[in-house]
């Protein structure tokens, strides 16, 4: 349901993210509507927003002219439009061709362009101004991710009464890499506008604190930064998670169980199904993982009657050059592997360049005997957690890169170094051959972990830390 929102927006809680949590859809009658985006963030934040009658500011995608705020499924949404140039230079350029590769261990070569930086600043300022406009006196603003790192400081300048939280969903790199950025100091100062800066892992928070001490020259102690004006900023880890219970329930529904049986049938009833699910991104290690699988076949350990690989590659950032090149490389490799190892009607790799609804994903996870998640670097990787949540029978193997944030928690996975092809081959084979008892032991432990640390716990923990600093902040504001 979409309705337009009252003009008097003064929200106690404002979420600011590059994207709105809804995607545009065309209804059967041809009219335009919105659908809540798949993914956990909105599930996590929705209850918090509802409790606080909050609003969400974000880009609706595309280049539409200014849109009015509206309400969809109870969520108050404030769209912030971007021009073609802003999409090119802020979104595709500085966010996804400069910061993304730099923050992911240089998985591609970051490009540094001064015009992109100018536009990044301009778009960040527009987000900050919009947040300043809609936040109630003394309210809280929660800013998300690498596209908006300047918003906290810009917003603080406009509205010193606000409590500001920032959460980075992707890794925060070590100083050796971060220092390549010509605008490194401005980014650090941008983040320091927040009262609380959240990261996926403790190591990322430490990278940030160390850089602030060395580059900006502020005093720090443990997870605190002391600013010259008397304010303190806390930087700490809040590992994100998923709606574990919701997915577990979904994976047990009759329709998902039935769909899972259909999928296995459609794959030719192999003994084992391997699965990869990723945005088509060069950080995800899709190429190396498919090569490893093909080599295991070539070495004669199994063939396509025994095992097939389903790779879901969700289209992503398709205008960015490195993503175009990656797509070509992967599709060429899939063709070659199927040419070498497939049989009539039985490809070795089932490659799907598409995104799917939650139900279909749950059915795929339920079907997969071996889930393969091998990024070169990943903030968390929620696919690994979603797989675990969908294994209601305590079976199935997870092969997981040690460079995904999730590896800190999912210790019972078969952990691999994605740069080590032989190591990956061995892990695929070990997971393929593992006995039921071993699988059960590992999966039970991982399921316990994600049940205890679900996305609601993540949001609660961030919001309560923010409320704590808010208390401290209020005191310093009083005369």
- Would you tell me which residues interact with ligand G6P (CB under 6 A)? 18-19, 145, 169-170, 316-317
Tell me whether residue 19 or residue 358 sits nearer to ligand G6P (CB atom).
Answer: 19
Q: Please state, in angstroms and rounded to a whole number, the distance separating the CA atoms of residues 419 and 417.
A: 5
Percent of the chain that is helix, strand, coil (3-state, to 5): 45, 20, 30
CB of 253 to ligand G6P, least distance (A): 27
CB of 208 to ligand G6P, least distance (A): 17
CB of 297 to ligand G6P, least distance (A): 32
Q: Select the residue whose beta carbon is closest to ligand G6P and give its number.
A: 169
CB of 96 to ligand G6P, least distance (A): 6
Tell me whether residue 60 or residue 270 sits nearer to ligand G6P (CB atom).
Answer: 60
The CA-based angle 66-71-77, given to 5 degrees, is 50
Tell me whether residue 146 or residue 274 sits nearer to ligand G6P (CB atom).
Answer: 146
Tell me whether residue 85 or residue 269 sits nearer to ligand G6P (CB atom).
Answer: 85
The strands making up 196-199's β-sheet, listed across from edge to edge, are: 2-4, 70-72, 75-79, 55-59, 11-19, 135-144, 163-167, 196-199, 232-237, 224-226, 219-221
Q: How far is CA 236 from CA 199, 461, 466, in A?
A: 6, 11, 11
Tell me whether residue 169 or residue 353 sits nearer to ligand G6P (CB atom).
Answer: 169
Q: What is the DSSP string of 150-215?
A: THHHHHHHH-TTSEEEEE--S----HHHHTT-TTHHHHHHHHTTSSEEEESSHHHHHHHHHHIIII
CB of 6 to ligand G6P, least distance (A): 28
CB of 317 to ligand G6P, least distance (A): 5
CB neighbourhood size of 256 (10 A): 23
Q: Please state, in angstroms and rounded to a whole number, the distance separating the CA atoms of residues 437 and 448.
A: 17
CB of 149 to ligand G6P, least distance (A): 12
Backbone angles phi, psi at 351, to 5 degrees: -105, 125
CB of 281 to ligand G6P, least distance (A): 8
Tell me whether residue 144 or residue 218 sits nearer to ligand G6P (CB atom).
Answer: 144
Q: Please state, in angstroms and rounded to a whole number, the distance separating the CA atoms of residues 184 and 175.
A: 10
Q: Please state, in angstroms and rounded to a whole number, the distance separating the CA atoms of residues 264 and 364.
A: 9
Tell me whether residue 104 or residue 218 sits nearer to ligand G6P (CB atom).
Answer: 104
Tell me whether residue 126 or residue 144 sits nearer to ligand G6P (CB atom).
Answer: 144
Q: Please state, in angstroms and rounded to a whole number, the distance separating the CA atoms of residues 333 and 327.
A: 10
């Amino acid at each position: 349901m979409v309705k337009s929102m009252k003009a008097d927006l003064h929200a106690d809680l404002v979420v600011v993210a590059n994207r709105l949590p809804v995607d545009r859809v065309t209804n059967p009658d041809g009219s335009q509507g919105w659908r809540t985006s798949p993914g956990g963030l909105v599930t996590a934040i929705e209850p918090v927003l509802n409790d606080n009658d909050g609003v969400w500011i974000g880009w609706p995608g595309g280049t539409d002219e200014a849109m009015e705020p509206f309400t969809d499924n109870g969520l108050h949404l404030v769209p912030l439009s971007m021009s073609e140039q802003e999409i090119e230079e802020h979104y595709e350029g500085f966010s996804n061709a400069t910061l993304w590769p730099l923050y992911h261990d240089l998985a591609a070569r970051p490009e540094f362009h001064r015009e992109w930086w100018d536009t990044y600043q301009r778009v960040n300022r527009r987000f900050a101004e919009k947040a300043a406009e809609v936040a109630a006196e003394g309210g809280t603003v929660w800013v998300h991710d690498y596209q908006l790192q300047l918003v906290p400081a810009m917003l603080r300048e406009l509205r010193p009464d606000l409590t500001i939280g920032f959460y980075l969903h992707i890794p925060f790199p070590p100083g050796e890499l971060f220092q390549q950025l010509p605008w490194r100091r401005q980014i650090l100062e941008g983040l320091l506008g927040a009262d609380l800066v959240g990261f996926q892992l403790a190591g990322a928070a430490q990278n940030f604190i160390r850089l602030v001490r060395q580059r900006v020259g502020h005093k720090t102690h443990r997870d605190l930064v002391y600013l010259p004006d008397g304010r303190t900023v806390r930087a700490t880890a809040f590992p994100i998670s998923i709606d574990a219970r919701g997915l577990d329930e979904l994976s047990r529904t009759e329709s998902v169980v039935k769909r899972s049986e259909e999928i296995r049938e459609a794959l030719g009833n192999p003994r084992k199904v391997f699965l990869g699910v990723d945005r088509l991104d060069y950080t995800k290690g899709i190429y190396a993982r498919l090569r490893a699988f093909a080599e295991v076949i070539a070495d004669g350990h199994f063939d396509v009657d025994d095992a097939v690989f389903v790779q879901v590659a969700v289209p992503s950032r398709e205008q960015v050059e490195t993503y175009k090149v990656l797509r070509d490389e992967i599709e060429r490799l899939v063709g070659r592997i199927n040419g070498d190892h497939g049989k009539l009607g039985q490809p070795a790799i089932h490659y799907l360049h598409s995104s799917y609804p939650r139900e279909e994903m749950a059915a795929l996870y339920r079907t997969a005997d071996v889930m393969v998640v091998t990024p070169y670097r990943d903030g968390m990787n929620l696919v690994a957690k979603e797989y675990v949540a969908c294994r209601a029978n305590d079976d199935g193997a997870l092969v997981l890169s040690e460079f995904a944030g999730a590896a800190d928690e999912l210790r019972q996975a078969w952990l691999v170094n994605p740069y080590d092809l032989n190591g990956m081959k061995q892990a695929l084979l070990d997971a393929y051959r593992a006995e039921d008892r071993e699988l059960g032991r590992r999966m039970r432990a991982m399921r316990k972990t994600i049940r205890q640390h679900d996305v609601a716990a993540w949001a609660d923990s961030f919001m309560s830390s923010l409320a704590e600093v808010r208390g401290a902040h209020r005191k310093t504001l009083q005369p």
